[in-house]
A and B are shown apart, each in its own frame.
Chain A
Amino acid sequence: MTETTQANNNRGRSIDIVNASLKRRYARERRFRYLGLSAVILGLLFVGTLFVDIISKGYSAFVQTHIVLDVYFDPEVIDPDGTADPAVIARADFRQIARQPLRELFPEVSGRRDKRALYKILSSGAPYQLLDMVQADPSLIGTRQTVELIADDDIDMLAKGHIDRTAPPADRRVNDKVIGWVDKLESQGLIRKNFNTAFFTNGDSREPELAGIGGAVAGSFYTLLVTLSLSFPIGVAAAIYLEEFAPKNRWTDIIEVNINNLAAVPSIVFGLLGLAMFINLFGLPRSAPLVGGLVLTLMTLPTIIIASRAALKSVPPSIREAALGVGASRMQTVFHHVLPLAMPGMLTGTIIGMAQALGETAPLLMIGMVAFIVDVPGGPLDPSTVLPVQVFLWADSPERAFVERTSAAIMVLLAFLVAMNAIAVIMRRRFERRW
């Protein structure tokens, strides 16, 4: 007692020492705060730049230039014998039908080359647009309709102002003549920019104006469906077993280390594994979402297991004791009490794993999901591609119109990711319970 009092006296009053150190302490706190703040600002800046860049490049892809033409569905061309046979209609030369109104609008254009240039204002998909119309409603044959026909990607770019009119003609994709025609159409109000539904429903195409992300979105959907329906139950079951039932010994330690290692394995290795195992050994089809889903399951499993185990660990042991204390079995304890409390964490981990899988490209390249596929897949066994691979494919294409489509596809991908993360946050809020 006396000794401590002595020490106190030698040192002076404690509160004086505290006061003296306050300034330094607060300065340190302030420094730390500024440091943290600048880190956050830097991060936001990067994200902001990314978003601004992508959105500024990509937003114009959500509209598509159409040319309003008065189309005469000439029975002589479509169905000369009046059979009304769908097979005959399908074989008809709708290119001629689509070109006719252009010829009428620009009677002065002559010469093979000029004519061909004129017809190229329309997309090569325009005749199919007309075919679809007639197939849906055969009574159109013999009538005159005002139709918005899809324009070629160069015209689209011109109309959106992505082509520099002042550049020397040799450096331009469109020559002065075409620009003149387009300007004339524009002045007559025949150029219209509509919402680009085709971008969301179509599969891939060589023609940018016809290319869409529909196929890739469907492919991603089936792939993630396979991934989710395998990795969530397996991951959660593995986590529950390891955390709640497995004896804690050297074997479980080894398993734990291996799971952590697996989470760090480069994803392309899983792609190679999938190629060797699922395709070469089991004979599953190439390019199929099923195989992609299996590969991504291997990849996301460690993430889900680690997150689920952390969620289980964070449930206080007193809850387990409470349940065991009234005579619940271990199974009942886990399923009635521990799992509901761990669920938000598990779901968050799963969604983060799914978001990772959604953005994954490399392993899918290995199993052939990088192919050029025009059809929208109808199931997990149809060949398909996925969104990030579609981005990869388009980013590689030379056409100017693919630049904006690439950015637009990235925007859609990011929208999905943001939505998934938002769902993770909402779930965490919804299921979060205090204990």
Chain B
Amino acid sequence: MDGLPSEEEQEMTTETATVDVDVTVPDPQTASHSKELDSNFQTVGEVRVANARMTCTDVNVYYGDKHAIKHCNLDIGENQVIAMIGPSGCGKSTFLRCLNRMNDTIDICRVTGEIKLDQQDIYDKRLDVVPLRAQVGMVFQKPNPFPKSIYDNIAYGPRIHGLASSRAELDEIVERSLSKAGLWNEVKDRLDQPGNGLSGGQQQRLCIARTIAVEPEVILMDEPCSALDPIATAKVEELIDELRQNYTIAIVTHSMQQAARVSQRTAYFHLGSLVEVGETTQVFTNPQHKLTEDYITGRFG
């Protein structure tokens, strides 16, 4: 309204820009500081890290004809939290869902490029997605508890993977997971009640507990705190910090403060492109790309 272009207009400008620069390739140095997206999908900042757990090389995602992720290169480092930020619809969830092949469930979705987990290409045809997803767990953007009891929601993963040898052990996993997610005190007296009878924020924590119950090594969290009050949010952030000691975490968030608080690295996505990656402190204090700067200073419409 205040003269800022709407999202569609932005997309249009980008597209014209892409067509334009196909003829004359501009100097990457100047392009990176301009307001436009880079025509070669060059990311500003260091996309690689020394101790990478997951390595993405030239990842493209298409929903039918829609090019949702464009030539994305990114490393996800061991024992650290990477935050993914960006305007709504820029492809954060899409990118996150590539990392445990959750996009397989969408018929029209096509992924190209290479994503490696511990040097193993996860899009290899021979790769079994079941152990992959046990290893790379996910908390979805919309809370999606099973229409079963709270207990069964948590116990399901450990049960199918055979992680508990006895009922007592399973009980312990359930209690530990719920406690970590900050939900135990609220539900300990009604574990047999349906999980979808909880409030939205409780459901979100239930889904977090369900994910950590199978102890995945990489945890993908898509806006895990979007429906939580500040206290529960603090609890989840504490959990993320604690998990970081042993796990690798990628988190999508719309809260700049949260990204600054919990993450070591931050990736900024814009209209399907990975615009800038870097140390969180550096990205927030001294963004290199104009788009990143606009976004984190709130000048983005």
Contact = CB atoms under 8 A, between A and B. Distances in A.
Interface of A: 1, 248, 316-329, 332, 336-337, 341, 433-435
A327 B105 contact: no
14 contacts: A318-B144, A321-B102, A321-B140, A322-B146, A323-B146, A323-B156, A325-B211, A326-B134, A326-B213, A327-B157, A327-B160, A328-B156, A336-B156, A435-B196
B105 A317 contact: yes
A332 B146 contact: no
A326 B145 contact: no
B289 interface: no
Given A317-B105, A332-B160, A341-B147, A322 B140 contact: yes
A53 to B, nearest CB: 46
B295 to A, nearest CB: 25
B298 interface: no
A329 B104 CA distance: 13
A1 B211 CA distance: 48
B133 A325 contact: yes
Contacts of A322: 140, 144-146, 207, 210
Nearest to B2: A1
B58 to A, nearest CB: 26
What range describes how many residues of B lie at the interface?
A: 20 to 34
The DSSP consensus for interface residues of chain A is helix
A326 B107 contact: no
B142 interface: yes
Interface of B: 1, 100, 102, 105, 107, 129-131, 133-134, 137-138, 140, 142, 144-147, 156-157, 160-161, 194, 196, 207, 210-211, 213-214
A328 B160 contact: yes
A319 B105 contact: no
Nearest to A435: B147
Contacts of A328: 130, 156-157, 160
A373 to B, nearest CB: 49
B292 to A, nearest CB: 29
Contact of A326 (B105, B133, B142): B133
B232 to A, nearest CB: 20
A325 B146 contact: no
A368 B208 CA distance: 63
B64 to A, nearest CB: 13
A214 B156 CA distance: 50
Given A319-B146, A319-B147, A321-B102, A326 B210 contact: yes
Contacts of A320: 105
B102 A248 contact: no
Contacts of A341: 147
A434 B134 contact: no
Contacts of B129: 324
A85 to B, nearest CB: 69
A8 to B, nearest CB: 16
A177 B138 CA distance: 93
Contact of A325 (B1, B102, B107): B102
